[in-house]
Structures are given as structure tokens and as C-alpha cells.
């Protein structure tokens, strides 16, 4: 299967700063591809190179199997994007914005189509309102509508949940899943928030300081055989001392305040609980930690 | 009969010319008498102005005159830029001081055979200092007049006569005068420099200007209301 | 292409700031007209100060609609560039500061084409503005003051143009002024490409025009002989060339222009400047990294 996006050994320097450093990855059709990294990790630079907003450094970018430098127009015709904030023409109506970006994408759009697009993002009743009267969530949704107005095969969303309230985040999540599941689009979505990516992505790419630190199937990254376990007891000191002298000693990772962290096989979590209880330790909480987050933190050294 | 009388007239004139030449005073008197036949007139004509620092279209004008010294030039349409001093277009104004001047007979101009007579007003403070008249004695008309004034420099009239000669009215008058300095405050106009200015140096300085009026018709002694002489 | 142009024009004319220029022009011209209606004779007196000693000239005839229009253009055509800069200087930088530039550049339209379309839209705005000026300066002046021959005063000598010979000169002058303003639009547009906010390009354009205009007007021989012939502001005055007529023995030659080749040359210089500015804009924008 030809990847929708195939990036090979991509570099981008800004002066002496390596914004993107030997990055390679592939995004396959129908995937929601999570692009994870902290602010300043090089996500935006990568996305802007994918969209030809900034000049590509060395390396190659192929989208739909075509070289981006040579087939820019063809590629962008099938690509929709929302980059960071959903900045639109504030002094124009939602309808006008859609019409303008449809034309820029090289398509003609009818009034009925505009209505349909706005309905999809729940803005049909505000079609004639100026964007400056919109809430952040509404702007975000209109931004998505603009990204989708020309029915692209590939949708690139840069931090789509930034600045949204919990309801907005939930709506956005639903929308992204709808794009993949019902419309069969490939979605490339970046975020600095793990849980967001975890809930929607099929594959994940993690970068730090411009370098790839991990790439793979979400389930593989999320569900390794071993997991970090967070243990809270009524006496952390005693529990730590006991564990250190038992067979669990090799599983101990850290002890901070009341929290003890161990790395164990998921199947052995009940056993750990039992052994503690047997030794008279009252376990208040014993739960596997977000593995990707730990993974991410351990990889990025934070 | 007509032919005969013309013959007699020419003969008489020739006799007068070759024989007993008239005195300067007599000539002046005859000319004045002729000019005084005209009480007023309204004349149509075309006016051409030639002043170095301004370009003006040829104007269709009406010239109004009323004795003794009222004269006004009006453009039929358009901007009417009439040089000051054109009131002197009227020859009668030469004699407004009555007979209160000295007349000097200079004799004939060689070549043109015109009689040259100078008039000097006796009045101490008169603006006109000296008038020199060049007279065609056959038709008894002034062909040229040079007037020197205290205030307005020298001006000159060149006259060509046709069918109104009997009234001493010219078909064509060229009025030459001294122009005043032309200067504009800088910064008023923000001129575009199209490079054509260098060709004409010193044109702003005191120089001669000319007005040429070619009359097409006169309406003589039909009455002209005084109102036309009031500005504007 | 046509649709993209329509969109740019739509965007321009949907913004309240676009109409500031139209309101300002109408207001200024009305102010000039009111001023001249009530105190115009004194002003005409100044313009005619060089002629009054030699001629009897009726100031109320000189103060006609054509004269008022000439005067208005004289006063305005130095300042309209500021209003042109207000829009042209905002074409790219405004989108950058709004954040929409990254959206439109990520669309399947080449950057050169995008820029050309945007520049064409700026020119369209400029020309509409000029037509607005024509309506107020020429049409309204003629309605208020009537028509008569036009006295054009200049330092090196004035001329009077018959009223029948005036109108075509205004059309020609407006076309020429259009070229001048398009040059300003191109300059402003070029600055706009370099900036991420619209204040910078607008201020930069205004500064350039002020400095150049001062150099053009102050008549210091050192500058007159060196830089002045190359300043586009010098050539922007070329519209007046259509009001400098030929004369034969002091008589205006109807339908003539004193130095038409000079006007053509000025027009070409302006066009070369405009092309240069647009070229630089495209050259820079093609490799610009959109970081806004």
C-alpha cells in the first residue's frame, strides 16, 4: 500500500537551530496518525513543510506518492489543513469564508453545499454571522469546515483542540473519528497532549527536539507486556522497605512522597496487591499509569 | 459723374501733397475732426495676445467705445484676459488733453512717406510724456502711434485701415506694450518639469507684449449703454 | 483566475477600512470646494499674482469648475498615495497578521499567481478610488462652479486652455495619475510582502513618498541634477504635462501638449518602477517562509 505521506530523512535548520532533524515516517490511507511532541519539538515546522508554507530542507516529502516540490498544486488540491489557531476572515461571514477557501482550492461550491458543510460542524444557523462574533469553539469548527470544504483525501490538523473547553474537545474528537470512519479520510493530527492522541490515533509518531523518538501502532506503544504501576498505601515508607527486601525489589522504579512506582507485568498486578496485603500494608490505590505518557516522558527525559 | 469727381479729388489731393503741404497743426486738426465723427461704436473682432509668459487662445471679442475715452474689450466667451492699457486702443485718447500740447513736425519718414508728428502735453503731471504719430496724409489716418508714459512705459499702436477709414477706425490694430515682471510664489503650483522650460530664458523679465485685434465689423454711432463700461 | 480576482476584490470591499479612503477623499474635496466657494477669489489672487500686473482678469471667471478640479488634484494627488498604501500595504501583511496567509498559501495556487492576483486587486481598488476622485473633483466641481477656460499657472509661465479643449486633458491626466498611483500601490505591496503587520508597510510607503516628494519639490540643484530625475514622485507629477500647451506667438494651440514625449517617458519610468516593485515582491514571496 502506498503511504499517503512518506517523509524520508527530512532536515530543517533555522540558522544553527535544528528544528527538524533526520525525520522519517509514513502515514497510510485511512489512518488517524497522531503526531506527538512538546511545544517547540518541531511539529509545526514539519507540518508547515508538508503544506509548503516553509521551504523544505534536505530530505524528501512524498504525498499521494508524488514529490511535494514537483507536484505541489496537485497535492494541495487533495489536502485540507487547519494550522494552529483557526484564523479566518473575521470581518466576513461563515458562508463567505467557506466560499473563499473553496475557490482557492479550485472548486465551485453551491449554496446548498455550503449549507451542508456548515451543518456538519453545527454552524448552519450561523451561516450569515460574521466570524468575529464566534466563540473559540465555533471558530475551531468553522476552521475544520474550511479544511474540509473541497473534500480532501488528506486532512492535516495542527493542535486542533487548543483553546477548546471539554465539550469542544469531545466534539473535535468525534469529528476526527467521523472523518476516518465514515468518510475514509486520512487524518494527520498533531498535539502536545497525550490523552487526546491516545483516544483517536491509530498510529503515533513522537518527536523531541526535531528528532523522532518513537513511531508505531498505538496499541503496541500503549500496551506493552510491562506497565508502570502507581502504588499508594497508608504507610509508604514501610511499604517501600518491605518491597525492597522482597522479590519485587527489581521492579521498583521510584519512591516519591506517598507514591511508589513499580514496573511490572500487567498480569502480576493482582499478585503484587496480595503480597502487600498479606504483609499488613493497606493499599489505597494501585493502578497502571498511562503508559504512553510514561513512555513519552522517559523517552524525552522529562 | 462719379468718375469725374474722383478724378478731381485725386487731382486736388496730389496738388495739395506736391504743392502747398499742410502744417502739422492742420493735419492734427483734420485727424481730430475725423475721429470726432465717431461718438460711440461696438465692434466685433478677434483678439490675439502675445505675451511671453502666458499662452492664451484667440478670443472672439466685442469692443465697446464711447467718447471721449471709454473703451472696453469683452470676450464673447471664455476667460477674458485683457492687457492693461488697452484703453489706449482708442486714438481719441491721444487728444483728450484738448489742444493743450506742443506739436513738432518731424517731417516724412523715409521710404514709407508717412508724416511724423510729435505731440508733447504741456501739462506738467500728465501721464503721457510724448506721443509720436505716423500719419498717412492721403487717407488722413494715423498708421502708427508711439506713446511714452510716466507710469506704464511705452506703448505702440500699428493700424491697418479698410472700409472704416473714413471714420478713422482701423480694421486691424496691433497694440504693443511693456509687460510687468511675472513671478509666482514658489510652492503654490508643484510644477511638473517636462524639460521645456530651459528653451526660453529670461521670459519672466520686463519685455514687450502684443495684442492684435482684427475687426470684422463696426456698428458706429448706434449708442452704447454706459453699463457695459462698468466692471466686470 | 477571474474567480480568485473577484474574491480578492470582495475581501477588499468588505472591509470597513476600505471605505475610509472614499470618505476621506469626499470630505477633503468638499472642504476644498466649500473653501473656494466662499474664499476662492483670494486664492485665485495668489495664483494670478504674476499676471495681475499685466492683465485685467476677472477672478470669478478663473474660478470655474475646471480650475477647481485642477487645484484639487494638485492638492490631493500627493496625498492619495497614503490612502492607496492603506490597502495595498495590507494585502499580504494584513493576511499574515490575521493568520489567514498560512491558509491561502497552503492552497493549490502558486505563490506568484496569488501575488499577481492580489496586486491586480490592489490596482483595481486604486482605480476605483481614482474614479471616485474624478467624480468629486471634476464632476462636482463643474456642477458647483460651472465651466470656463482653464488657467494653469506655473512658475515658468501660465497658459489658458479653451473650455472645449479641457475635458480630454482631464481624462488623459486621470489615466496618467492612475499609472502613478499603481506605482505607489506596487511599492506598498512590495513592503507588504516583507512584513507581518500592516502598519509597517503603510508607514514605510508614506515615509518614502514624503522624503521623495520633499526631494522633488525643494529645488536644491544638487538633488535636482542627481537623484530627482530618478525619483518616481518626480514623474508622478506628469499628469500636469497634459495641461501644459504649446503656443504659437503666445496663442494657445488647441489640442496640443507642450512636451508629450516627456509625459510618455515619465509614464514609462513609472511603469518600470511598478514592474520592479512587483517583481521584487514576487521574488521574495516565492521563497518566504510563512511563520505567522
Nearest by CB to C51, from B54, B58, B210: name it: B54
Taking CA atoms, what residue in A is nearest to C96?
A87
Q: pLDDT at residue B6 above 60?
A: no
Question: pLDDT tens digits for B171-190?
Answer: 999 999 888 777 776 666 67
Say which range, B44-58, B91-105, C17-31, has the weakest mean pLDDT: B91-105
C36-56: average pLDDT = 82
Predicted confidence at residue A295, as pLDDT, reads 65
CA distances from C243 to A96, A171, B58, C135, C167 (A): 46, 68, 17, 19, 11
CB contact under 8 A, C109 and A73: yes
What's the gap in Å between the CA of C257 and the closest CA on chain B? 11
CB contact under 8 A, A105 and C15: no
Selected residues 134-173 of chain C with any CB under 8 Å from a CB in chain B:
148-149, 151, 153-163, 165
| CATH classification code of B38-230 | 2.50.20
Q: pLDDT at residue B191 above 60?
A: yes
What is the C-alpha separation between B93 and B96, in angstroms, rounded?
A: 5
Predicted confidence at residue B12, as pLDDT, reads 47
Predicted confidence at residue A143, as pLDDT, reads 92
Q: pLDDT at residue B14 above 70?
A: no
Q: Count CB pairs under 8 A between chains B and C.
A: 153
Band of pLDDT at residue C286, cut at 50, 70 and 90: very high
Interface ipTM: 0.86
Specify the higher pLDDT residue, A278 or B202: A278
Q: pLDDT at residue B128 above 90?
A: no
Predicted confidence at residue A298, as pLDDT, reads 61
Band of pLDDT at residue C147, cut at 50, 70 and 90: very high
For chain C, say whether A90 makes contact (Cβ under 8 Å): yes
What is the C-alpha separation between A88 and A106, in angstroms, rounded?
A: 18
Predicted confidence at residue B18, as pLDDT, reads 43
Strand-pair partners of B161: B170
What's the gap in Å between the CA of A39 and the closest CA on chain C? 15
CB contact under 8 A, C98 and A55: no
Sheet with A17-27: list strands edge to edge: A17-27, A5-14, A60-63, A66-67
What chains are in contact with A, requiring at least 3 Cβ pairs below 8 Å?
Answer: C
For chain C, say whether A15 makes contact (Cβ under 8 Å): no
B touches C, CB cut-off 8 Å, minimum 3 pairs: yes
Q: Are B217 and B44 in contact (CB under 8 A)?
A: yes
CB contact under 8 A, B50 and C251: yes
Taking CA atoms, what residue in A is nearest to C98?
A87
- For the entire predicted model, the pTM comes to 0.85
What SS3 state is found at C271?
helix
Residues of chain A predicted below pLDDT 50:
302
Taking CA atoms, what residue in C is nearest to A71?
C108
What's the gap in Å between the CA of C232 and the closest CA on chain B? 12
Say which range, B95-104, B125-134, B191-200, has the weakest mean pLDDT: B191-200
What SS3 state is found at A210?
coil
C touches A, CB cut-off 8 Å, minimum 3 pairs: yes
Question: pLDDT tens digits for A199-242?
Answer: 889 999 988 888 888 888 877 776 666 777 888 888 888 888 88
Amino acid at each position: 500500500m502506498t503511504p499517503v505521506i512518506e517523509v524520508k530523512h527530512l532536515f530543517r535548520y533555522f540558522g544553527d537551530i535544528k528544528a527538524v532533524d533526520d525525520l522519517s515516517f509514513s502515514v497510510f490511507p485511512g489512518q488517524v496518525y497522531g503526531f506527538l511532541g512538546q511545544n517547540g519539538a518541531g511539529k509545526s515546522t514539519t507540518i508547515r513543510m508538508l503544506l509548503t508554507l516553509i521551504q523544505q530542507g534536505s530530505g524528501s516529502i512524498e504525498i499521494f506518492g508524488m514529490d511535494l516540490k514537483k507536484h505541489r498544486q496537485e497535492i494541495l488540491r487533495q489536502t485540507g489543513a487547519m494550522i494552529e489557531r483557526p484564523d479566518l476572515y473575521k470581518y466576513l461571514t461563515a458562508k463567505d469564508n467557506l466560499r473563499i477557501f473553496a475557490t482557492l482550492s479550485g472548486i465551485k461550491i453551491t449554496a446548498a453545499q455550503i449549507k451542508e458543510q456548515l451543518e456538519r460542524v453545527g454552524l448552519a444557523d450561523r451561516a450569515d454571522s460574521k466570524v468575529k462574533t464566534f466563540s473559540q469553539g465555533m471558530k475551531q469548527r468553522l476552521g475544520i469546515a474550511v479544511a474540509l470544504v473541497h473534500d480532501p483525501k488528506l486532512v492535516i490538523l495542527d493542535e486542533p483542540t487548543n483553546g477548546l473547553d471539554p465539550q469542544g474537545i469531545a466534539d473535535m474528537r468525534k469529528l476526527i473519528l467521523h472523518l476516518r470512519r465514515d468518510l475514509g479520510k486520512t487524518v494527520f493530527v498533531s498535539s502536545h497532549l497525550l490523552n487526546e492522541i491516545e483516544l483517536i490515533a491509530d498510529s503515533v509518531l513522537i518527536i523531541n527536539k526535531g528528532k523522532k523518538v518513537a513511531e508505531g501502532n498505538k496499541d503496541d506503544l500503549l500496551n506493552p507486556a510491562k506497565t508502570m504501576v502507581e502504588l499508594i498505601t497508608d504507610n509508604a515508607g514501610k511499604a517501600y522497605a518491605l518491597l525492597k527486601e522482597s522479590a519485587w525489589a527489581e521492579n521498583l522504579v521510584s519512591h516519591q512522597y506517598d507514591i511508589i512506582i513499580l514496573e511490572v507485568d500487567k498480569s502480576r498486578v493482582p499478585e503484587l496487591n496480595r503480597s502487600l496485603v498479606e504483609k499488613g500494608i493497606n493499599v489505597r490505590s494501585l493502578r497502571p499509569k498511562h503508559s504512553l505518557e510514561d513512555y513519552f516522558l522517559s523517552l524525552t527525559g522529562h | 459723374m462719379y468718375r469725374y469727381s474722383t478724378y478731381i479729388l485725386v487731382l486736388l489731393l496730389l496738388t495739395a501733397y506736391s504743392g502747398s503741404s499742410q502744417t502739422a497743426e492742420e493735419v492734427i486738426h483734420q485727424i481730430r475732426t475725423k475721429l470726432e465723427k465717431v461718438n460711440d461704436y461696438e465692434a466685433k473682432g478677434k483678439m490675439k495676445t502675445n505675451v511671453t509668459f502666458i499662452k492664451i487662445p484667440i478670443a472672439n471679442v466685442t469692443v465697446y467705445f464711447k467718447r471721449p475715452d471709454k473703451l472696453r474689450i469683452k470676450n464673447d466667451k471664455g476667460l477674458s484676459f485683457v492687457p492693461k492699457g488697452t484703453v489706449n486702443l482708442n486714438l481719441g485718447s491721444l487728444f483728450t488733453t484738448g489742444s493743450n500740447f506742443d506739436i513738432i513736425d518731424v517731417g516724412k519718414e523715409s521710404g514709407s512717406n508717412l508724416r511724423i508728428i510729435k505731440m508733447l502735453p504741456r501739462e506738467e503731471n500728465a501721464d503721457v510724456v510724448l506721443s509720436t504719430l505716423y500719419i498717412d496724409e492721403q487717407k488722413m489716418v494715423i498708421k502708427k502711434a508711439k506713446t511714452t508714459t510716466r507710469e506704464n512705459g511705452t506703448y505702440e499702436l500699428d493700424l491697418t485701415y479698410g472700409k472704416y477709414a473714413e471714420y478713422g477706425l482701423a480694421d486691424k490694430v496691433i497694440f504693443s506694450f511693456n509687460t510687468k515682471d511675472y513671478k509666482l510664489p514658489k510652492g503654490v503650483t508643484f510644477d511638473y518639469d517636462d524639460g521645456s522650460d530651459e528653451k526660453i530664458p529670461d521670459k519672466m523679465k520686463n519685455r514687450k507684449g502684443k495684442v492684435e485685434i482684427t475687426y470684422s465689423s463696426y456698428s458706429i454711432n448706434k449708442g452704447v449703454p454706459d453699463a457695459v463700461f462698468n466692471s466686470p | 483566475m477571474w474567480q480568485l480576482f473577484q474574491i480578492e476584490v470582495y475581501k477588499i470591499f468588505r472591509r470597513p477600512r476600505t471605505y475610509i479612503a472614499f470618505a476621506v477623499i469626499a470630505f477633503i474635496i468638499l472642504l476644498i470646494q466649500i473653501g473656494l466657494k466662499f474664499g476662492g477669489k483670494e486664492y485665485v489672487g495668489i495664483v494670478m499674482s504674476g499676471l495681475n500686473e499685466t492683465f485685467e482678469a476677472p477672478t470669478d471667471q478663473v474660478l470655474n469648475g475646471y480650475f477647481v478640479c485642477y487645484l484639487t488634484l494638485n492638492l490631493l494627488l500627493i496625498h492619495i498615495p497614503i490612502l492607496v498604501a492603506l490597502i495595498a500595504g495590507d494585502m499580504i501583511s494584513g493576511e499574515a497578521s490575521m493568520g489567514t496567509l498560512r491558509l491561502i498559501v497552503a492552497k493549490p495556487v502558486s505563490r506568484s499567481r496569488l501575488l499577481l492576483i492580489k496586486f491586480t486587486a490592489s490596482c483595481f481598488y486604486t482605480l476605483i478610488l481614482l474614479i471616485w476622485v474624478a467624480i468629486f473633483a471634476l464632476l462636482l466641481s463643474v456642477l458647483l462652479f460651472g465651466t470656463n477656460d482653464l488657467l494653469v499657472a506655473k512658475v515658468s509661465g501660465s497658459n489658458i486652455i479653451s473650455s472645449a479643449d479641457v475635458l480630454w486633458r482631464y481624462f488623459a491626466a486621470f489615466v496618467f495619475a492612475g499609472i502613478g498611483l499603481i506605482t505607489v500601490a506596487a511599492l506598498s505591496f512590495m513592503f507588504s510582502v516583507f512584513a507581518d503587520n500592516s502598519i509597517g508597510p503603510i508607514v514605510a510607503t508614506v515615509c518614502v513618498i514624503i522624503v521623495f516628494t520633499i526631494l522633488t519639490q525643494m529645488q536644491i540643484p544638487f538633488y535636482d541634477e542627481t537623484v530627482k530625475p530618478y525619483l518616481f514622485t518626480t514623474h508622478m507629477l506628469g499628469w500636469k504635462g497634459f495641461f501644459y500647451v504649446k503656443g504659437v506667438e503666445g496663442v494657445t494651440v488647441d489640442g496640443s501638449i507642450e512636451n508629450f514625449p516627456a509625459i510618455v517617458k515619465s509614464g514609462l519610468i513609472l511603469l518600470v518602477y511598478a514592474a520592479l516593485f512587483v517583481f521584487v515582491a514576487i521574488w521574495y514571496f516565492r521563497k518566504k517562509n510563512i511563520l505567522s
